[in-house]
Structure 1
């Protein structure tokens, strides 16, 4: 009986691994609705590095930012911050508890860390999310020459239940969806 249980457990684990691989290999793109979460409706606990002054929201560097509201995985706010030309970083704030996570640090870039493609071109990452889904789409906008049109690549991630890690569920694909 234990052997049968072990085999069934291994098969289920293998099958769940195959779903992600199949999605990446088959070209099937997951949808936000495939990874639903319930949206928190309580009092929002905005981290202290966001300040509202004169009707505008600013971060701890004094830069304008969007108003903190749940925009990801039921209780999180993905903040996009500018730190100068070609510099962008993301914060992930749990608005139910007021805590922070560094799960999105891998998508940030600055003067010291400018991500590059395998062929050496710089890119900037934009993130697409929904309040009622734990799926996150990273779109990589690749630097082009003066005569080339923009190149965009995309990869889909899921936020762990603890909110500490964004795990890829697809390979990087050579185009970007328009989520407008």
Structure 2
């Protein structure tokens, strides 16, 4: 008797068919593997196996270990009645929809990391320049509550000099000799 859902069984069969084919493009192999993983992650067989393991006396730690999860993740995924699990999953999907995971690309200025890379200095050097008033910095807060530190450095501005130059705090002395010794 098969325990996988029809979707999982079909994804497994499709991946097995790719293995016997000659010259299967690498992207098709990746898509086949991903399809199988996605089908297995949502397969009711996972929940049934976890429930069977609990009934057989397994602990959440053992179930989590077998599934490659932490005990809290296993409980979150499989503990409780079907309606409780469905409610948790839907709440998780809602949070993901409401909270984008990527940094917007249309923010003003540049990030501290971007500025540091462009100038060939460390992020700490950029923060020091901000503290000294050599670089303008603002926190941009989006409507969804996310905040980003943005810096504004004009190309060719004195504060854009590399570390060690006058803008970085390394003042040149008129009485310095070419060999680096003081006069």
Whether these two folds match at TM > 0.5 is no
TM range (shorter): under 0.3
Q: Which is richer in helix?
A: 2
TM-score by length of 1: 0.19
Q: Which is richer in strand?
A: 1
Q: Which has the higher contact order (CA 8 A, sep 6+)?
A: 1
TM-score by length of 2: 0.19
